Structure 1
Amino acid sequence: MKPEELKPFVDFMKAHGLLTLSVEKPDFKLYLVKEGAETLVSTPTASARLARHSPAYAKATAGKLGEGGMLAAGLALEPVVNKNAVSVTSPLVGTLYLAPAPSAAPFVEVGQEVKAGDTLCVVEAMKVMNEIKSEVNGKVLEIKAENGKPVEFGQILFLISKP
């Protein structure tokens, strides 16, 4: 990719106040991070991807893909608005669970103090439960994903205050 081809992506990031931008097409992947942006991606115990021809992929991307298979503007791209927070993102595609069991209390709640290593949630992929753990000490400022709903790779799940 030539530098002049990156300009529209950089302009899009500036216009929408984004700190990161991820674009995936069949022939390339692009991941841009604004200088000074702090994003943590937890390492899963297993990984999963939806095959592009699978019904699950079609359902997950329905109405979200624009021309050329790119994400339509404003969809699945969220700016991190709190500069005093660290975002915890999903390391894989799967189903998010905020509690260890349907009737159990959630792993964490907004306002709760967490330590590095505390379990924040579980992402299920291919019947494997992957614990997502905090990599920092701080307070949970926001839970940005919904229990039992699908999450994408790189989707922001939690905002945690910086130590």
Structure 2
Amino acid sequence: MPLEPDHLTPDEGLTWRSHLRVHALLSAGLARRLARDSGLSGADFEILAALATSPDGRMTSLRVRRTLVWEKSRLSHQVRRMEQRGLIVREPNPDDARSSLLALTPAGRATVEDAFAPYAQYVREHYLDLLTPEERDVLIKVSERVVAGLGSIDDA
């Protein structure tokens, strides 16, 4: 049995490449939909959505970074661009003077709230609706097992 160029068996290579292709196509489609419908990039939406899930629309930079599994520099650059557009602000962290809080502005909250419906529609139409409830359950279990095996961003 010949090995794949990446030293995976043909079945392993197909499994991995299929996963990468699904992720790339869904991400690209979502990015196009977000840009068209709300003027947001995928990165903008990820940060705004993370903040919107927090009860007061605020999170520490570290928590956002860990939630999104981003490098510190990537978050810093993205936050700066979003601040310039009035979507978020940095605030002093009353619990830790060494860190800051990221907070949604009213414009940021309105923008992400407007983006949620088309985002969800795209995810349903191009992913969730194509799966049976049983297939979704399997994907959840597999994803959770892989995530548990990978550890956290701080372990890398």
TM-score by length of 2: 0.24
Greater fraction of residues in strand: 1
TM-score by length of 1: 0.23
> Which of these two proteins has the greater Rg computed from alpha carbons?
2
